[in-house]
Structure 1
Amino acid sequence: MKALRWLLLGGLTPPITVGDAVLTAVRIGTGLSIALGHGWGKVKDPSGIIGVSESLGFPLPTLAGWMAALSEFGGGILLAVGLLTRPAAFLILVTMSVAIYAHAFRWGDPFVQGWELAFLFWMLALQYVVFGAGRFGVDRWLR
C-alpha cells in the first residue's frame, strides 16, 4: 500500500525552498498550456486528432484520438492542480512520444516549428513522472 501511495502521490519532501515555488509555477504553467492550448481544442473537435490517429495507422483511431485529447486536456488539468501528478504526467509523456514520432519521423518536420514543442512537453512531463507534484500540489495533501 505504501508503495502504491508513493507511486501515485509522491514521496518525502524536503523543507520548503524557492525550488518548491518554481516547481509549482512550472507545473501549473505546463499543465494549463497542455490542457487549454492543446487538449481543449481536441476535446471540442476530435476529428483532427482522430484523422491523425488514422494516418498513423492506429487500429482504433477514434479511441486513440480520444485518448490523446483526454490525456492532454484531463492530464494537463490534473498536472496543473497537482493531483495524481505522476500518472497524469505519464499519460502526457506517452502522448508527446507519439507526437514526436509523428512530426519528426513520419512527417519529417524540422525540429524548430515541427516537433520542438512536443519534445519540450515530453521533457517537462518526464520531470513530473520522476519528481511528482512537489510540495504545493493536491497529492501532498492527500498523502
Structure 2
Amino acid sequence: MSDLKSKLFGTCPYDAICTQACYAALRIFTGLGLALGHGLGKVPPAEKFVGLVSGLGIPAPGAFAWMAGLGELVGGILIALGLFTRPAAIVAGLTMLVAWYTHAFGPLSEAKGTFADQEKALLYLFVLAVFCALGSGKFGLDRLVFKNR
C-alpha cells in the first residue's frame, strides 16, 4: 500500500527523466500552441488586428502588430524546440501581458469583460514565466547548443 501511496502522492525530483519528459511535453505543446494557434494567424497582421493595437495607444501599431505576430510565431517555435527558451519566453510573455491587458482593461474589455476572456492569455503568461525561470530542460536544444548541464 505504501508503494501505491508513494506513486500517487510522492514527488519526482526535477532532474528525473519522468519530470523532464513531462516538462518537455509542456514546453512543446505550449510552443506549438502559441505558434500555430496564435502567431500564424497574425503574420501578416490583418487590418483588424492593427486597428486593435492602434486602439491601445501604442505608437507605430503596424510595426507592433508585426512584432506581436512574429513574437508568438517565432517565439513559439523556439520554445517548442527548446532553443533560446528564456529570451523567447520573455518576448512571448510580454505579448501575452499585452493580450491580457487588452481583454482586462483595453478595447476588448467592454465587449466581453469576463475572466474567461482573459484566462488564455494569463495561462500562457504563467507557463511562459516558468520557462523563463527553468529554461528548456534536459530535452531542449539549449542544452546541446550551449553545453548547459
Bucket of the pairwise TM-score, normalised by the shorter protein: 0.7 to 0.9
The count of residues paired between Structure 1 and Structure 2 equals 129
Aligned to 1:8: none
CA spacing shift, 1:61–1:44, aligned 2, 3 Å: closer
- Superposed displacement of residue 44, structure 1: 4.1
1:75-97: CA deviation from partner (whole Å, max 9, x where unpaired): 00000000000000000110000
Is the radius of gyration larger for structure 1 or structure 2?
A: 2
- Superposed displacement of residue 48, structure 1: 3.0
Q: Which has the higher contact order (CA 8 A, sep 6+)?
A: 1
Q: TM-score when scaled to structure 1?
A: 0.86
Superposition RMSD on alpha carbons, in Å?
1.3
Residue pair 2:38, 2:73 contacting (<8 A) in 1 also? yes
Aligned to 2:80: 80
Corresponding letter in the other structure for 2:79: L
Cα distance in 2 for residues equivalent to 1:26 and 1:122: 14
CA spacing shift, 1:121–1:86, aligned 2, 3 Å: same
Identify unmatched segments of 5+ residues in structure 2. 1-13
Q: Could you tell me which of 110, 134, 137 is aligned with 1:134?
A: 137
CA spacing shift, 1:101–1:15, aligned 2, 3 Å: closer
Cα distance in 1 for residues equivalent to 2:87 and 2:23: 17
Residue pair 2:136, 2:142 contacting (<8 A) in 1 also? yes
1:54-110: CA deviation from partner (whole Å, max 9, x where unpaired): 111111101110010000000000000000000000001100000111101123221
Corresponding letter in the other structure for 1:70: L
Q: TM-score when scaled to structure 2?
A: 0.82
SS at match of 2:43: helix
Residue pair 2:50, 2:62 contacting (<8 A) in 1 also? yes
Identity %: 43
Aligned to 1:11: none
Cα distance in 2 for residues equivalent to 1:16 and 1:105: 42
Aligned to 1:10: none
Cα distance in 1 for residues equivalent to 2:72 and 2:140: 19
Off by >2 Å, runs of 4+ in structure 1: 14-17, 44-49
Q: Could you tell me which of 98, 112, 118 is aligned with 1:115?
A: 118
Taking the TM superposition and a 5 Å limit, the aligned residue runs for 1:52-67 are 52-67=52-67
1:22 partnered with 2:22: yes
Cα distance in 2 for residues equivalent to 1:20 and 1:48: 40
